[in-house]
């Protein structure tokens, strides 16, 4: 690769000199090449490859005010982010969609409160054109920071304030958690289960709350026995513990709806350790239908949500929003809620 005499990377100027044209013309060629004579364009293209020219992104975004990157903010204080395949799948969907649009993915992990400031500063500094934000808990300060930074934002999972009327109306992608939960619990009932427990996620997340509401719906009009409700915190260990608690509080239970596959894997272990056979003694239904669900013993009946697709939808929504801001500011976009579907295997 040929460099400029100054030893750094070649600049537009260098390419222009080599091609015998002005900077402006090179710029035009590099950015699409419209309105440049074929012969000149070819000359410039050759100069570009000869010199190994790559536009300097800082200089470009300084003037265009766009960075060609989107920040993905994951706010999980716990080790959960990487233990749960959920995030991975979603990231994958996002990554696919963004690379198709030649947009870069910036991953910002926020674990501590201090990280939160850092993330806020980062967003405000204009490193990204938009934000995808995940797995918010109630009272999370991040949405406010995103709002303050003025960046278009799409949420993964309905934010808590979405329907309260307070705050701006957020753009989000979610699955119909409540309906999925209803399907799961109805399925257990149809199989003859009478004492159906639930292991929930942290209830300050809407997805966890919605699934619990779905559980209630399916039992209505009867009110659920509070001894049949335990919080598993969306982790495998939490699932183990919650299951143990349930067995102690309600030894006669014959079904469990576990609000994530990861927790369900823990619950299955506890059941096995207590000598309960699945599905003969206790029916178990999970939620997510991530790969490991099919690998448990017995294979897990669960509620499928296409997580990768949700990631893709989030990215797509944000990209549309970015384009809309540039071209048709009035355009109203709306949130997406995808359907959930029961997948029956052997656990319940």
What is the 8-class DSSP label of residue 76? Answer: -
x/- string (CB under 7 A) for DNA, residues 262-281? --------------------
Span interacting with DNA, options 57-65, 109-117, 175-183, 214-222, rule CB under 7 A: 57-65
Tokens standing for residue 293 = 């669900």
In the complex with DNA, the residue whose CB is nearer, 24 or 248, is 24
For the chain, the distance separating the N- and C-terminal CA atoms, rounded to the nearest angstrom, is 63
Least Å distance between CB 86 and its own copies? Answer: 9
Note every long-range contact of 100-105, with CB atoms under 8 Å and residues 24 or more positions apart, other chains counting: 101/315, 101/319, 102/68, 103/68, 103/69, 103/70, 103/129, 103/319, 104/68, 104/69, 104/70, 105/69, 105/70, 105/72
Asked if 122 touches its own copies (CB under 8 A), the answer is yes
Asked if 25 touches DNA (CB under 7 A), the answer is yes
In the complex with DNA, the residue whose CB is nearer, 41 or 89, is 41
Which helix H or strand E contains 73, and what residues bound it?
Answer: strand 69-75
Asked if 33 touches its own copies (CB under 8 A), the answer is no
In the complex with its own copies, the residue whose CB is nearer, 23 or 191, is 23
Among 45, 60, 137, 341, binds DNA (CB under 7 A): 60
Least Å distance between CB 145 and DNA? Answer: 18
Closest among 221, 229, 226, 241 to 197, alpha carbons compared = 229
Residue 100 CB partners (closer than 8 Å, separation 6+) = none
327 is in the binding site of which of its own copies, DNA, none (Cβ under 5 to 8 A by kind)? none
Asked if 22 touches DNA (CB under 7 A), the answer is yes
* CA–CA gap between residue 238 and residue 39 (Å, rounded): 67
x/- string (CB under 8 A) for its own copies, residues 277-316? --------------xx--x-x-------------------
Asked if 36 touches DNA (CB under 7 A), the answer is yes
Among 67, 153, 205, 347, binds its own copies (CB under 8 A): 67
Closest among 199, 297, 288, 300 to 243, alpha carbons compared = 199
Least Å distance between CB 116 and DNA? Answer: 22
Closest among 301, 239, 303 to 272, alpha carbons compared = 239
Q: Computed from CA positions of residues 152, 158, 161, 166, in that sequence, does the dihedral angle turn out positive or negative? A: positive
Asked if 265 touches its own copies (CB under 8 A), the answer is yes
């Amino acid at each position: 690769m040929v460099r400029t005499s100054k030893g750094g990377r070649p600049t537009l100027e260098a390419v222009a000199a080599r091609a015998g044209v002005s900077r402006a013309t090179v710029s035009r060629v590099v950015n699409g090449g419209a309105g440049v004579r074929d012969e000149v364009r070819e000359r410039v293209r050759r100069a570009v490859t000869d010199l190994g020219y790559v536009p300097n992104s800082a200089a470009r975004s300084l003037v265009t005010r766009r960075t060609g990157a989107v920040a993905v903010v994951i706010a999980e204080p716990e080790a959960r982010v990487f233990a749960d395949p959920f995030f991975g799948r979603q990231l994958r969907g996002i990554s696919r969609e963004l690379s198709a649009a030649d947009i870069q993915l910036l991953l910002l992990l926020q674990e501590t409160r201090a990280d939160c400031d850092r993330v806020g500063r980062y967003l405000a500094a204009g490193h990204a054109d938009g934000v995808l934000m995940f797995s918010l808990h109630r009272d999370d300060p991040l949405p406010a920071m995103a709002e303050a930074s003025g960046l278009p934002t799409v949420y993964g999972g309905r934010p808590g304030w979405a329907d309260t009327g307070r705050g701006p109306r957020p753009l989000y992608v979610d699955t119909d958690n409540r309906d999925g939960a209803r399907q799961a619990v109805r399925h257990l009932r149809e199989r003859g289960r009478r004492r159906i427990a639930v292991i929930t996620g942290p209830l300050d997340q809407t997805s966890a709350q919605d699934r619990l509401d779905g559980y209630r719906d399916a039992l209505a009009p009867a009110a659920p026995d509070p001894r049949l409700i335990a919080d598993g915190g969306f982790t495998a260990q939490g699932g183990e513990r919650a299951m143990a608690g349930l067995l102690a509080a309600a030894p006669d239970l014959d079904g469990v709806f576990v609000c994530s596959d990861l927790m369900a894997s823990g619950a299955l272990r506890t059941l096995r350790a207590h000598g309960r056979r699945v599905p003969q003694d206790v029916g178990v239904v999970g939620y997510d239908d991530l790969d490991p669900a099919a690998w448990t013993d017995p294979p897990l009946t669960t509620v499928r949500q296409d997580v990768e697709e949700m990631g893709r939808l989030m990215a797509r929504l944000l990209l549309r929003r970015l384009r809309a801001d540039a071209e048709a500011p009035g355009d109203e976009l709306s949130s997406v809620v995808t359907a959930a579907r029961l997948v029956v295997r052997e656990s319940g």
